[in-house]
Amino acid sequence: MPASDAVRLSELVIGGSRANWAQVGITFSESGIYLIGDVALRIDERLPPGLHAWVLSNCDPIISAIDGIPTSVVEHALMTETQHRQEFALEALSIDHVVVNTPDLERTSRALHDATGSELKRIRDAGNGMRQGFHRLGSVIVEIVSAPSMPAGDAALWGFVLNVADVNAVAAYLGPDVLSPPKPAVQKNRLIATFRGSVGLGVPLALMSDVVVDDA
């Protein structure tokens, strides 16, 4: 089993239209890459909108799925890529967490641990039967979510949250029809805002930042 601190999330693979992502300041390179800290967001326009797969580094190369989640393994993470600039560019600092939906939290958590060595940090009761389990792959938290309403079957990648310097500034620029007004996050002293479904990203995506204190 790999050491948990060696295995990291290298890429997330999405489908859909580049044009929709450009509306929120995410512009991909010619090869379909948008770098977010030390993780690459890769778009494949041949795929339908959604979050389809992830790529891990420093993991067992024979792994092709983790509890049903399509998984690829690379030896070294992609670290540099030229991206085109536009009028508004979203300055994403890092991926805070990736959400995995599953009908069986313990089963998915165990599969992730067996594949990567990443330990289950804790389980949170979110109410109404919803539970959240937390692992870490490199710089990214993996939040495994289960709820009574989820159908039986495999786990699936659902959405992710980006860290930005000031979510209020992004919300003011994009407007409430694109990004919901920021509100307090579950994490202390943090704010969160979610992109509207009408934007057409096809992936649940939110932004988070620390509460900016005005010293004036």
* Residue tagged 């003011």 (tokens): 172
Question: For the segment 175-185, what is each residue's pLDDT rounded down to a tens digit?
Answer: 999 999 999 99
Q: Where are the alpha helices (DSSP H) in 18-175?
A: 18-22, 105-116, 167-174
| CB 14 within 8 Å of CB 44 | yes
Question: Looking at the predicted structure, is the pLDDT value of residue 84 above 90?
Answer: no
Question: For the segment 107-143, what is each residue's pLDDT rounded down to a tens digit?
Answer: 999 999 999 999 999 999 989 999 999 999 999 999 9
Per-residue pLDDT, 2:
43
Per-residue pLDDT, 4:
40
% of the chain residues with pLDDT over 70: 90
Question: Looking at the predicted structure, is the pLDDT value of residue 70 above 80?
Answer: yes
| CB 158 within 8 Å of CB 132 | no
**Residue 37, phi-psi category: left (phi > 0), alpha (psi -120 to 50), beta (remainder):** left
For the chain, the average pLDDT equals 91
| CB 179 within 8 Å of CB 207 | yes
* Residue tagged 């998915």 (tokens): 108
What's the rounded mean pLDDT across residues 23-45? 94
The two tokens of residue 59 are: 């993991």
- Radius of gyration in angstroms for the set of CA atoms belonging to the chain, rounded to a whole number: 17
* Residue tagged 């010619």 (tokens): 30
Per-residue pLDDT, 214:
61
pTM of the model: 0.90
Give backbone dihedrals phi and psi of 142, rounded to 5 degrees, phi first.
Answer: -105, 115
Residue 3 binned pLDDT confidence (cut-offs 50, 70, 90): very low
Question: Using CA atoms, how far apart are residues 168 and 64, in angstroms rounded to an integer?
Answer: 39
Task: Identify the weakest region by mean pLDDT among 79-83, 100-104, 128-132, 205-209.
Answer: 79-83
The two tokens of residue 39 are: 């993780």
Domains of the chain: 8-210 (3.10.180.10)
